[in-house]
Structure 1
Amino acid sequence: MTDRNRTLTTTAYALLGLLDIRPWTTYELAKQVARSLRLIWPRAESNVYEGPKALVAHGLATARQEHVGRRPRTVYAITPAGREALRQWRAEPGAGPTMEFEALLKVLLGDASDKESLLTNIRAARDWADRGQQICADIGRGYVQDGGPLPERLPIISLTFPFLLEFAELVERWSERAEQEVRRWPDDPTPADADLSQFQRAAALKPAAGG
C-alpha cells in the first residue's frame, strides 16, 4: 500500500468500496451508508458528505457535475487508482470489533448505583437491541420481497447480515437475563449474591494457544 493510501481512514475506504459498486451522488452515498453500514460502521452524515472530496483529492475518485432540472448535483465514481487502493486494503487483515457500549459500561461501573439505575441501563440496552432487530427486519423484508436495491450483492450481504441480526439478538438475551437477575437483588445491590454459572462455563473453555 502506498504512503498516500496509508493516510486514508477506514471510513474513506468504506466510501471507496461503495463507489466500487457503482457511481453515487453524495446524497445517495449518505442514504446507502445509513442503510448498509450504520450497524457496523456508524458515522456522522457530515463525514459522508465530506469523504468523497478527500477521495477525489487523492486521485481515487472523480467528481462529475450534473443537473436534475435546475438543481445541481455531484456524482462520484471510482478511478483505476481507487480500485487498486481498495484491492490492497481488502487484502490486508482487518481489525476485530471494538465495542462502545455506554449502557453496559454504566452497568459494569454500577457498584455504587441503586437498583433502579442498573435496571434503567439494562433496559436501554434492550431498547437498542429492539431497534437493531427492527433495522434487520426491514432489510430482510426488502431482500425477501424484491431482492433489495443491490440484488447482485446478495451473496456477500448474506455473509455479514447474520452477524448483525445475531448480535442484536445477543444483546436482547443478555438484557433479559440481566434484568431478571437484578430484579431479585435488594435496593442496595452491594450484598447481592453473584451468579457464577457463566464464570464456570468460561473456565471450562479450551485455553488459547500459548495461554
Structure 2
Amino acid sequence: MKSLPRLSPTSYALLGLLARGPATAYELNNIMQTSMLRVFWPRADSHIYSEPKKLLSHGLVSEEKEKVKGRDRTNFTITAAGRDALAAWLAEPDAATHRNQAEFMLKVILAEGGSPDDIKATLARALETTRTETRMAIAGIQHIIDSPEAGVRKGMPWNGMAANLMADILIARLRWAEYATEAAAAVPDDSDRAAKEDIGLAAYQRALQRLQAELDP
C-alpha cells in the first residue's frame, strides 16, 4: 500500500471541504476566510490558493477545467485516495492544543516600550474589532439557523458544537477587552515602577484565582 504524503492541517482542511462537494480554489479560500474555520485555523490567502495544486500532485484531488461566462474555472474534486487520507487524519490522535495568534496581544505584552496612549489605542481597537467579529458571528449563525437548504447546514452536528467554542472565545475576548480597557484607563500615566508592579501583580492574582476556580470549583 502506498504511504500517504506528508500534509499540513491546511491540506486536510481543504480535503474536508472538498469531501462535501467540488469547489474552486476561490471558493475554498472564501470558506476558509469567512466561516468558523477562520477562527480556529487562520491562513493567508496565498497559502490556501497554493494547496489545491499540491493535493493534485499527490493524486488526492482531481481537476476539471471549464469556461463560465468566458472565464476559465478549475473545479477540484476529492478522489478516493483523498478520502482515505482525510479519514486517516481524522482517526489520528493529536495533542488537542489550542493556539492563538494576535499581533495586538504582542503589543499589549510589550507595551512598556511605547506610550500610555499607544496601549490605550491598541485596546480600544481590540474591543471594537471583537465587537465587529461578534456581530459577524451572530449573523452567520442566524443564517444557518434560518436556512433550511442542505448546503448551508453541512457538517452537522459537529459544526454546531464548534460554534459554541467560537462563541466562548468571542465572549471571552469581549470581556477581556472591556476589562483591559477599563484597567488601562485606571493606570496613571506617571506611575513609577513600583506602582506598575503592584497593579500588574494584582492582575496576575486575578488571573490565578479565576483559573483555579474553573479547574477546581
User: What TM-score range do you get, normalising by the shorter chain?
Assistant: 0.7 to 0.9
The one-letter code sitting in structure 2 at the alignment partner of 1:128 is T
1:174 match: 176
1:98 match: 99
What TM-score comes out, normalization by structure 2 length? 0.84
2:75 match: 75
> Secondary structure of 1:12's partner?
helix
The one-letter code sitting in structure 1 at the alignment partner of 2:38 is R
The one-letter code sitting in structure 2 at the alignment partner of 1:15 is L
Unaligned ranges ≥5, structure 2: none
1:198 match: 207
Asked if the contact 2:4–2:85 (Cα under 8 Å) also holds between the matched residues in 1, the reply is no
2:31 match: 32
Q: How many residues align?
A: 206
**2: CA distance between counterparts of 1:4 and 1:115?**
53
**2: CA distance between counterparts of 1:113 and 1:11?**
36
Give the Å deviation of 1:42.
1.7
Distance 1:86 1:121, change over 3 A: same
Unaligned ranges ≥5, structure 1: none
What TM-score comes out, normalization by structure 1 length? 0.86
Identical-pair percentage: 32
Distance 1:70 1:102, change over 3 A: closer
> Secondary structure of 2:19's partner?
helix
The one-letter code sitting in structure 2 at the alignment partner of 1:119 is K
> Secondary structure of 1:111's partner?
helix
Distance 1:158 1:24, change over 3 A: same
Asked if the contact 1:59–1:81 (Cα under 8 Å) also holds between the matched residues in 2, the reply is yes
Asked if the contact 1:129–1:172 (Cα under 8 Å) also holds between the matched residues in 2, the reply is yes
Give the Å deviation of 1:135.
2.2
**2: CA distance between counterparts of 1:141 and 1:167?**
18
> Secondary structure of 1:67's partner?
strand
Q: Does 1:162 align with 2:168?
A: no
In the TM superposition, 1:35-50 aligns within 5 A as 35-36=34-35, 37-50=37-50
Q: What RMSD in Å do the two structures reach over aligned CA positions?
A: 2.3
Superposed CA deviations along residues 81-128 of structure 1, whole A, max 9, x for unmatched, are: 101111111111334122212222222222344322221222232133
Give the Å deviation of 1:205.
6.7
Asked if the contact 1:104–1:122 (Cα under 8 Å) also holds between the matched residues in 2, the reply is no
2:188 match: 186
